[in-house]
Structure 1
């Protein structure tokens, strides 16, 4: 099967912003881009569809992308079905599935659309959620590289491999963040934690992170890595550490369910959600 990046599009500006990010990612990885517009079986009537026919939306986006990126290899297609299940199935074998945080059916005040949330929560492959440039968001922050959340006690291989490769391709620093929390008995104690105990626990966490990163440092010797052990919940750690990051990579188990939505709501940079 051909390696490719897939982006799901509709008629919204946020969707086109995500497609443009996907095009640049495809060029960075020297991969073709597949632009997919999913049309629900009960589509709008022709008056509401104007000026696009549903079958022409993907081709229209492709034409825009090729005008900006002439070297891009891209093609568009229209698929009938419900967006989330169709995109989830298509993204299963893709190098990366790219979606906007909200589409044309997004409700005002809801930062993450239902399709993006469902696909990110259930997809077997990596999903990039790209925030569009809303008028009230202000200018983007300067890039500080790629940020990845690391669960040093669990298998973070997929997230680490994606993050190291993303940093290598961009020539960027990788910020590897490992959150930890006090032992349950210490957290529940009414007495302050002794500084020497906290230092010992933190030293152990530092060693766990170093051990988890060692194989990837060997595989990607040219990637500059900042190892960061923080006494936060996984959600708070990644939210704080990713300020200004060009790309954030998170394993889904680090932020399941509502916490994933909270993470997506707080970040203004593209977030790649890995199944594990």
Structure 2
């Protein structure tokens, strides 16, 4: 199965903005770009990246996933998902050089497609990958009368770092 990058636009003047980033990614990765007007496809198994427009124009009448629906698509997708916010950047704005890729991930349930995409983006551009993993203290910490002892916090933090390390281990670092 060949991989594809899918951009879901709403057919408004913002469509160019929504398609610009995935078009660039498609050319960098030598992957085909599929532009859809409306909802994303149900089957994303061959999708390397899915781009969704979060503009106000993307409401129930256009069929685009917006707001909570977009986040539900993101949570259910194994591929990398890019959400384009309802912000229009002026064409005359200077281009910024990307210096790192920072994928957010749940180390307990890693999204392999998103991780793979992030590693490929970092390697293809020769830039750093800075993995993010948010976590919270165990529920037992809330019952401690004088806060969390440093030893306990350090142990829990070390465990979370190990989870993230284990989740990223299958990808080679070059």
Normalising by the smaller structure, the TM-score range is: 0.7 to 0.9
Q: Equivalences for 1:174-193 in 2 at 5 Å?
A: 174-193=129-148
1:19 partnered with 2:46: no
- Determine which structure has more spread, i.e. the larger CA radius of gyration: 1
Q: Is the 8 A contact 2:53 2:64 kept in 1?
A: no
The aligned runs of 1:89-128 (5 Å cut-off) are 89=42, 91=44, 93-102=46-55, 104-105=57-58, 115-117=65-67, 118-122=69-73, 124=77, 126=79, 127-128=81-82
Q: Which runs of 4+ in 1 moved over 6 A?
A: 138-142
**Correspondence for 2:165 among 210, 214, 219:** 210
Cα deviation code 1:129-167 (max 9, x no counterpart): 22365269x878764411122323334433322221221
Cα RMSD between the aligned structures?
A: 3.1
Counterparts of 1:206 and 1:115 in 2: how far apart (Å)? 34
**Cα distance, 1:21 vs. partner?**
1.0
Unaligned runs of 5+ in 1: 38-82, 107-112, 223-276
Counterparts of 1:148 and 1:99, CA distance in 2: 17
Distance 1:211 1:6, change over 3 A: closer
Q: Distance in 2 between matches of 1:180 and 1:194?
A: 17
Which structure shows the higher helix fraction?
A: 1
Q: Judging changes above 3 Å, is the alpha-carbon distance between structure 1 residues 140 and 103 closer, same or farther for their aligned structure 2 residues?
A: farther
Unaligned stretches of 5+ in structure 2? Answer: none
Structure with the greater relative contact order (CA < 8 A, sep ≥ 6): 1 or 2? 1
Which string of whole-angstrom CA distances, capped at 9 and with x for unpartnered residues, describes residues 143-202 of structure 1? 441112232333443332222122112222111122222221112323222222222222
Q: Which moved more, 1:165-174 or 1:117-126?
A: 117-126
Length, aligned pairs only: 165
1:19-77, Cα deviation, whole Å (9 max, x unpaired): 1111101101112222233xxxxxxxxxxxxxxxxxxxxxxxxxxxxxxxxxxxxxxxx
Normalising to structure 2: TM-score of the pair?
A: 0.74
TM-score by length of structure 1 reads 0.50
